[in-house]
Amino acid sequence: MNIKKSVLFILLILIIDQWSKIYIKTHFVLGESVEVFNWFKILFIENEGAAWGAKLSDVLPISDNIGKLVLTVFRLFAIFGIGYWLFDVIKKKASNTLIWAVSLIFAGALGNILDSVFYGAIFNESYNEVATLFSDEPYGKLFYGKVVDMLYFPMVDSTWPTWMPMVGGQNFRFFEPVFNIADTAISTGVGILLVFNKRAFNKEEEAAVEANETLQDQEVLKE
């Protein structure tokens, strides 16, 4: 894959990600949900921290605002690092599997950093009201935005048997986290690297696989 295709792919993911977030932010009140299927809901929440809503202030003796700023700055450095990695693997003509995976991770990371950097300065609060884009009363400022999440898959919603120690009688729900398109892109990219590790980091092996698939297709056409 060349850099042009990679950029177009990243832009496509960013457009879908940002459109979905802006739509949710300007049409839903915080906490509002719509059931699509009994195992899939659109649920609007805002994430002020990292994955799973974790905050640096929960583990370090710093304020929420300082923790948020540090996290946003860290994400910016991470974006530059991933961007350099992507440029490097394309320049070195690495396997398409690796380039696809890094492109997904970069697009997802960039999608979430846009929320963290800009959303606090362009949206008002969503508590008990639908937010307005480019509001005169933004809820924060640059670098203090909250990440918009909306994809919720409570595929199992049950209760632990009362006879079970520690958790008996408590609610059990799978899959609990609420996430967004950018998170999905990151998870997919990481999943590709884990599952197709050898193919991603071995261009010769991927080329052999592609050549074999092409040969099989040609044989099928001959038949």
Residue 17 is among the residues annotated as catalytic for this protein: no
Neighbours of 223 (CB within 10 A): 5
Residue 149 is among the residues annotated as catalytic for this protein: yes
Residue 160 tokens read as 């632990």
Distances from the Cα of 44 to the Cαs of 16, 112, 124, in angstroms? 16, 15, 15
H helix or E strand, kind and range, residue 220 = helix 203-222
Kindly name the residue from 115, 136, 183, 217 that is annotated as catalytic: 183
- Nearest-10 Cα torsion for 63, 78, 50, 47: 100
**52-56, long-range: CB within 8 Å, 24+ apart, which pairs?**
52/177
Identify which of 16, 1, 200 has the alpha carbon closest to the alpha carbon of residue 107: 16
Burial class (CB in 10 A: 0-12, 13-18, 19+), 2: exposed
Q: DSSP strand E in the chain: where?
A: 33-37, 40-47, 147-152, 156-159, 171-174, 178-179
Neighbours of 47 (CB within 10 A): 22
| Cis preceding linkage at 175, omega within 30 | yes
Kindly name the residue from 17, 149, 157, 217 that is annotated as catalytic: 149
Q: What residues are annotated to the active site?
A: 149, 183
